[in-house]
Amino acid sequence: MNRKRRLLAAGLMAGASICAVLLGAIIYGGLSKEQSSVTIALLVLTGGGTVVLATLGLDQLLSIHRIAGGEKLPVADYRHTFRLFALVALVLAAALIARRLAVPESFGRYGYFRAAAVDQARDFEPRHIGEDGCAGCHEHKKEVALHDKDAHASVPCEDCHGPGWKHAADPKKNKLPKPKGKAECLVCHRQLAARPGAFPQIRWREHFRFVGVKDMDVACTRCHSPHEPLYMDRDLRKARLHPLIQRCRDCHIGRINEKLARPENHPAIFECSYCHQDIVRDFADRPHKKIECTTCHIFVKQSEFAGRIIRDADPRFCLLCHGNADFRSDSAPPGIDWPDDHLDDVAEKPEDRKKSCIDCHRDKIHKLREVCKHEP
């Protein structure tokens, strides 16, 4: 009897091993080929066969051990498992049928993808029409010219206004949304450690305190025009190239204070004072001394070695800090009502109304810069 049980146990374990090998081969082959319903059925059968045969073989081995110990075993009866296996088989069959009906016909033709998706995507009407699509209708409007010369020149229109395909099809019926609050602007300009230091970013509450804003709900567009946020008085793309201006936060995450002492043997970085020592010393005694040079002399990085720098003299740029507004607090920088009230007070002749702020207020900033001998 024990001999028959050993032979049966050996046969069952051998069958389980063969099923396991087949299961491994199907899995290995199925990873690089299309997994059809037949493949999945074979996976289920070989996997189930491995488990069942291994279980029965182990049962026979345990029976041999128990008989050797003098224990009398009852006659084995597996009828209670028939319903369980029938239920499992029914569920698997239903799953295979459902998969066959649900999986698209073209799935697997190009790997684990639906081949027909390529043709469907090709037939979709583009949601974004691009800069040329916007300029086709708006090229004669001032927004395009203003956008192309200022700091947002590299920002596509649809980044702020959303997809323009419906608007292009029927401009009167489908108006594009306009950013109104702070959230839209802060998507790009909220200060994050992951962003490079050269990218314009702010802590908006600190920024509001700096310019004297008392209403925390005021929108960025009350001071900044989305199309020309810095009111550059010349085209950024034509501004002169300037050596790279580096900041502490370009390398040090969270380093905001640029004036902290640097340790001995710290790598040299380019600063304004290296070439403009006399102006930096003069600026230290002026009312604007707490402002960084690059706040007014806007630097836009273009490579690892250089960028474009703007000396902005547009009055609206100065008014970002000095314009009177109902949302400013008493601690705000000195403000004026421009252009009418202020120019009515100070203009003595018509050409005075065309002057920029620094033509009269140079003493508040710094002395004139001597022309660099390297400039053309």
Residue 286 tokens, joined: 């002026």
Where is 301: in which H helix or E strand? strand 297-301
The domain boundary, picked from 122, 137, 168, lies at 122
* Number of domains the chain contains: 3
Residue 211 tokens, joined: 């310019």
Asked if residue 355 has pLDDT above 50, the reply is yes
Q: How high is the mean pLDDT of the chain?
A: 82
Residues 114 and 140 in one domain: no
Residues 32 and 89 in one domain: yes
Residue matched to tokens 């004072």:
273
The domain boundary, picked from 122, 149, 169, lies at 122
Residue 233 tokens, joined: 């008085």
Residues 52 and 28 in one domain: yes
375 assigned to some structural domain: no
Q: 243 - beta bridge partners? A: 306
Residues 21 and 58 in one domain: yes
Asked if residue 362 has pLDDT above 90, the reply is no
Residues 143 and 234 in one domain: no
Q: What is the pTM of this model?
A: 0.62
Residues 327 and 209 in one domain: yes
77 assigned to some structural domain: yes
80 assigned to some structural domain: yes
The predicted-structure confidence for 103-131, as pLDDT tens digits, reads as follows 888 887 777 788 888 888 888 878 888 88
Residues 233 and 284 in one domain: yes
% of the chain surpassing 70 pLDDT: 91
The predicted-structure confidence for 146-199, as pLDDT tens digits, reads as follows 888 888 988 999 999 999 999 988 988 999 988 888 999 999 999 887 887 778
374 assigned to some structural domain: no
Residue 293 tokens, joined: 């040079």
61 assigned to some structural domain: yes
Picking from 233, 237, 236, 235, the residue whose alpha carbon sits closest to that of residue 356 is 233
224 band by pLDDT with thresholds 50, 70 and 90: very high
The predicted-structure confidence for 226-246, as pLDDT tens digits, reads as follows 899 989 888 888 888 888 877
pLDDT recorded at residue 111:
76
Alpha-carbon dihedral sign for residues 325, 330, 335, 341: positive
Residue matched to tokens 């043997």:
265
The predicted-structure confidence for 268-310, as pLDDT tens digits, reads as follows 777 788 888 899 999 998 989 888 888 888 888 888 888 888 8
Centre a 10 Å sphere on the Cβ of residue 219 and count the other Cβ atoms it contains.
16
Residues 167 and 230 in one domain: no
Where is 144: in which H helix or E strand? helix 142-149
Residues 272 and 143 in one domain: no
Angle between helix 130-138 and 142-149 (nearest 10): 140
207 assigned to some structural domain: yes
100 assigned to some structural domain: yes
Residue 289 tokens, joined: 């001394």
Residues 279 and 165 in one domain: no
Residues 147 and 200 in one domain: no
The 297-301 sheet, strands edge to edge: 241-243, 306-311, 297-301
331 assigned to some structural domain: yes
Residues 137 and 225 in one domain: no
Q: Characterize 70-105 residue by residue with b for buried, 16 or more Cβ atoms within 10 angstroms of its Cβ, and e for exposed.
A: eeeeeeeeeeeeeeeeeeeeeeeeeeeeeeeeeeee
- SS3 state at 242: strand
- Average of per-residue pLDDT across 325-348: 88
If phi over 0 gives left and psi between -120 and 50 gives alpha, with beta otherwise, what is residue 108? left
Picking from 164, 190, 182, 291, the residue whose alpha carbon sits closest to that of residue 226 is 182
The domain boundary, picked from 76, 96, 122, lies at 122
Secondary structure, 3-state, 325-356: CCCECCCCCCCECCCHHHHHHHCCCHHHHHCC
How far is Cα of residue 371 from the mean position of the Cα atoms in its chain?
Answer: 41
Query: Measured between alpha carbons, how far is 303 from 241 in angstroms, rounded to an integer?
Result: 11
| Structural domain span for residue 167 | 128-178
How far is Cα of residue 261 from the mean position of the Cα atoms in its chain?
Answer: 34
Residue 250 tokens, joined: 């370009």
